[in-house]
Structures are given as C-alpha cells and as structure tokens.
Structure 1
Amino acid sequence: MRIATFNVNGIRAAQRRGFEEWLADRRPDVVAIQEMRARASAVPPGVFGEYHLAYDEGELAGRNGVAVLTRCAPLAIRTWSGVALVQRPGETHTETVELDPVPLARGLGEFANEGRYLEVDLAEAPITVVSMYLPKGGLPAHLQKPGRMREAPDGGARYDRKMRFLSAFARQLTRARRTARARGRELLVMGDLNIAHTRHDVRNWRRSNQVEGYLPEEREWFDSILSPRTLVDVVRRQHPGVDGPYSWWSWLGQSFVNDVGWRIDYHLATPRLAGAVVAAGTDRDPAADRRMSDHAPVVVDYAF
C-alpha cells in the first residue's frame, strides 16, 4: 500500500504546476493533503481523478484546509469541526455533510474550525489515517527583535498559541491512538507539523536554534510524542543518522537548488504499521522551475 502526504500550498496552484501528473504517475492508494487553501466550491473539478475526497476547508478563507484521498470509499470520516465535503469520483457537489463529532481534548476547541485535522478509517486495511496541519507559530517575546523579523513583533502571541495547541494535541494523539487500537486499527498521522525534530531535519541547524519550527521547546514536544511503543517516525527509521530527506525549501534564493531545506512533513505510525514499511522518501521535484509547491510529497510504501 502506497501512502503519501503532501502540503500542496494551494490546490489550484499545485494543479497548474503538475499535481495531476504526479498523482497519475505515483499512483498512491491514500494521500493526505494539507493547505488546500480553497473553498469547496473553488476546488478544481476533476483534479483528484478517480479518488474519493474527504475535505475540511475550515473557516479561514484562503488558508489551511486538510483532505484525504482514497481509492476506496472510507468506512468513516471524522473532523474536529464535525463537517466535511465528501465526494465520490466524478462528483462535483459542494455541500458538506455532518459527521459524528470527534471528542476533543481540553484546549483544542479554539482550533476546531480552522481546517487542521481530518481522519478516515480505510476500507481496504485496518488503518485510521490522519491528515494534520499544525500552526506555524512564531518566536517567544524575548527572541523578537524589531528589524530582524519578516513579520511585525507580536509579543509572543503566535508562539503562545502554538504551544497551547501542542499541549492539547499531545493529549488528542493519545486519545486517537487508543481509540484506533480499541477499534482494531493502526493509526497513521501524516502532515505538515511545522517542526524540524532533530539537527538532521534542518540543513542550517546551528543557525536555527532561535527560529520558529526548531525551537528547543518545540523539539522537546516532538520527543514526547514518539516512542517505540506509541508513534514512530517511519521516514527517519528508514534513513537513520543522515541529513534529510528534506520536504520543504523556501521559494527565496537558491534554497532548493542547494538543498537548504527542512524536514517538517511526517508519517507517524503505530509500531506494527511502522514495522511494515518497505520504502520511504521524498518526491523532490527535478528542478526549481518545476516545483509543485514549497513542500514535496513524502511517500511511504507499507507491506501491510
């Protein structure tokens, strides 16, 4: 079973840059998508071909939005918001449907309608698949220096918000993992987590210790959700002790050409599923002018 995660940074832009060709060539069985950045009515008709679509667009116009594509109709779909667009291959309707609510861990309510979380129970395997988009965050107040930031100083508000999210989401992950196990299912959490976990996950790691996405407290949080008995970073297990494979490069300068990237897109699997991995890597675009997104798809083959 081939499963991919891809932050498309806007499905309409990704379509213009070759998303449909990638989908037809790689033929994944399941795709988790982040940053669709489109209202349901604006999703290009036919862009997902013969796949079933489940999509939570969220309430932030032009931002966020998570989806899961499957070859078979999923057995169940769940979102934090309690609604999703559900389309069979060839359908073009844009009406959302109400879903069974996901019980939310304390502290997640403020994020529930932002289009950050969608999970499906696969029909073809006992796996619950999650598409996840974490907040980017910002710097704590003591690291904010006017004139050295791309964004205006905010007193640490974006940083505080991300840390609130991480604290609550850790509790939600535990709940999701236990719920999947009770249903006889493995759990696979995929998406853009906006954190580079170790120094092998960011090229310029020495200079990044005071950059959002590589702050010590963010990496400590990542440590806390991984273990051989809970969730496993399957790409890192397949590529131990090496730099990359990166999944994000800035559009600016020569970052992509020089492979000055970050690994912030993940497959986190329960141990039995992680043990079934036979290949894992990043579909890095062949050239800077042929990039579909500032991210690259992360593709894993599971013999499950």
Structure 2
Amino acid sequence: MIVSTVNVNGIRAAVKHRSADNLGLLPWLASTTADVVCLQETRADDAQLATALAPALADGWQLVSAEPHLKGRSGVAVLSRHPIAASRSLESDEFGAHGRYLEVDTAGATVASVYVQTGEAETDRQREKERFMAELATRMATLTNRDAVVCGDWNIAHTENDIKNWKGNIKKSGFLPSERQWLTELLASGWVDVVRELHPDQPGPYAWWSWRGRAFDNDAGWRIDYQLATRGLAARAVSARVERAEAYALRWSDHAPVTVEYRSREMIG
C-alpha cells in the first residue's frame, strides 16, 4: 500500500493551477503510484469537491470527504483506488462538523486525513487548537490496536530538525514547547512518525514553504505534514519521500505531497 498526503491549499486552485501546462493536482493524481491519497484544506463543500475531482473519479478513484463548517476554511478528504468499506468523522460536539478529521477503512487498513488548525500563541485561536489536539489524541488512542495511519497537516514542527528557522519560532504557534510535547506523548503512546523513522537525524525533509520571499528556493521550510502509523504498520514502511516541485513556478500548493510505501504482510512473510 502506498499512501500520500497533501494540503492542497484550496481544491479548486490546486486543480486549476497551471492546468495549461498539464500541471496541478489532477495530472498528479493521474500519474501517482499511490493507492490512497489524503487531502487537507480543500475549502469546498462535498459537491464542489466532487466537481473539481470529476476527472479523477471517472478514472476510478473512490472519494469520501468531510466538508468545512465555514466557507473557505478547512475540509478534508480521502481518495482510494480500492473500495472504501467504512468512513468516520471525529465524534466531537465542538469539532465533529468542522471538516478537520476523516478516517476510512480501505486497502486493509484504517487511513485518516487530519488538518490541525493554525494557532496563535496565547490567544483563543491557540486554545481552540489545543482542544482539537486533545480530542484528536483521544480518537487516535482507539486506533492503536489495528493497522492505521493518520496523515495530514498537523501545523506542528516536532523538533529542531523539522523547521529551518527554529530559533526564530520558539515562541510561535507551530513550534511551542507544549505542542512539541503533545507530539512526543502521542508518539510514546504507540504511534510512529514514519518519515522521520526512515530519515533520522537530518533536517527535513520539509514539505511546506511560504509563498513569500525565497523560502522555497532556499529550502527554508517546515516539516509539518506527517504520516503517523501504528507500530505494526510502521514496521512495514520501506520508503518515504517528499514530492517537492522542481521549481517554484511548478508548485500547485504551498505544501508538497508526502508519500510512504508500506509492504504487505505477505511480502514480509
């Protein structure tokens, strides 16, 4: 099973961007080897998303989505080349309808797409982010007894190796000590950061770069797009890569797809 995750920064923009040059999300979906693709920040309701992805759906991709509760905000989805047996949103009075979490059973595993909101230190936005993080951890605790992977934009850089300018962001949301500790505790509870496991002790590989300045050209990025897998599934991960565009002008999102290949149990045996 090959799983990719990408924050599309608006599904309609990702589909239309440089379409005349045969670039953008749809050509990428047509060429990817992924079996399952998790999307975040679709910024579209279910009907708009299905319309934007119509060519991919005609090619056989199966789609499940969770639309945002506010226009132009959040929204997550999962595309699979395999039948989707079941799907579930976050059971939460506050966040259940926000379009920030969606999990599906497909290709012999549970695959979830998550979009953790951007916070702002010492504000209500940060407190909302922390409440969502708590509810997400509660949900993930119920998945550790199965093959599961939670993919998405977590908006938290875990260590100094996960952000180029870590010294300038110590007091900012996304690199706060409390956020980093939350990720540490999540990993201690039975989850594995698969990309870091396969790329230990090195900066990056980053998957988000600001549109501004020369962040992309200088690889001054953040590694905030994770695939956290349960230990049994993580043990079967054989490769992980960031599909970074060859040039700034060829980007169709400010994030790049993060792709991991997991061997089947039969291949291990």
Counterparts of 2:130 and 2:244, CA distance in 1: 30
1:159 partner amino acid = Q
Give matches, 1:77-226, under 5 Å. Answer: 77-80=87-90, 104=91, 108-122=92-106, 124-125=107-108, 127-140=109-122, 156-177=123-144, 181=145, 185-226=146-187
User: Do the aligned residues in 2 keep the contact of 1:131 with 1:191 (CA within 8 Å)?
Assistant: yes
Unaligned runs of 5+ in 2: 18-23, 265-269
- Equivalent runs, 1:1-304 vs 2, <5 Å: 1-17=1-17, 18-43=24-49, 44=52, 45-48=54-57, 49-80=59-90, 104=91, 108-122=92-106, 124-125=107-108, 127-140=109-122, 156-177=123-144, 181=145, 185-227=146-188, 230-304=190-264
Aligned partners of 1:39 and 1:251: how far apart in 2? Answer: 25
The answer (yes or no) to whether the contact 1:4–1:298 under 8 Å persists in 2 is: yes
Superposition deviation, residue 22 in structure 1:
1.2
Partner of 2:214: helix, strand, or coil? coil
**One-letter amino acid of the counterpart of residue 19, structure 1:** L
Tell whether the 8 Å contact from 1:5 to 1:298 is kept in structure 2 after alignment.
Answer: yes
Task: Give the C-alpha shift of residue 209 in structure 1.
Answer: 0.1
> What's the offset of the Cα at 1:78?
1.1
Supply the distance in 2 between the matched residues of 1:46 and 1:23 (Cα, whole angstroms): 10
8 Å contact from structure 1 (residues 39, 62) kept in 2: no
- CA distance in 1: counterparts of 2:167 and 2:115, whole angstroms: 26
CA distance in 2, matches of 1:46, 1:137: 35
CA distance in 2, matches of 1:26, 1:169: 29
Structure with bigger helix share is 2
- Residue by residue over 1:209-241, the C-alpha shift from the partner in whole angstroms, topping out at 9 and shown as x without a partner, is 0111001111011101003x6100000000000
The equivalent residue for 2:267 is none
Report the CA distance between 1:47 and its aligned residue. Answer: 4.1
Alpha-carbon separation, structure 2, partners of 1:66 and 1:188? 15
**2: CA distance, partners of 1:165 / 1:216:** 17
**1:17-38 Cα distance to aligned partner (Å, 9 max, x none):** 3111111222210001101111
Q: CA RMSD in A?
A: 1.3
What secondary structure sits across from 1:55 in the alignment?
Answer: strand
Q: Secondary structure at the match of 2:143?
A: helix
Once the two structures are superposed, residues 173-224 of structure 1 have per-residue CA deviations (whole angstroms, 9 ceiling, x without a partner) of 11233xxx2xxx3111100011000000000111110111001111011101
Aligned-partner residue type, residue 165 of structure 1: F
Secondary structure in structure 2 of the residue aligned to 1:32: strand
Aligned residues of 1:56 and 1:67 also touching (Cα < 8 A): yes
AA matched with 2:100: R
Query: Aligned partners of 1:4, 1:135: CA distance in 2, in Å?
Result: 20
Aligned residues with identical type, % of pairs: 45
Work out whether residues 29 and 56 of structure 2, in 8 Å CA contact, stay in contact via their aligned partners in 1. no
TM-score norm. by structure 1 comes to: 0.81
SS at match of 2:94: helix
SS state of the match for residue 161, structure 1? helix
Instruction: Say if 1:15 and 1:47, in contact at 8 Å, map to a contact too.
Output: no
Task: Give the Å deviation of 1:163.
Answer: 1.6
Write the distance in 2 (CA, Å) between the matches of 1:47 and 1:176: 29
Deviation at 1:269, TM superposition (A): 0.4
Question: How far is 1:168 from its partner?
Answer: 2.6
> Which residue number in structure 1 is paired with residue 20 of structure 2?
none
Question: How many residue pairs get matched?
Answer: 254
Aligned residue for 1:9, secondary structure, equals coil
For 1:170 and 1:77, the matched residues in 2 are separated by: 18
Query: What is the deviation of 1:281?
Result: 1.2
State the alpha-carbon separation in 2 of the partners of residues 294 and 166 from structure 1. 23
- SS in structure 2 at match of 1:12: helix
Describe the SS at the equivalent of 2:15.
helix
* Higher gyration radius (CA): 1
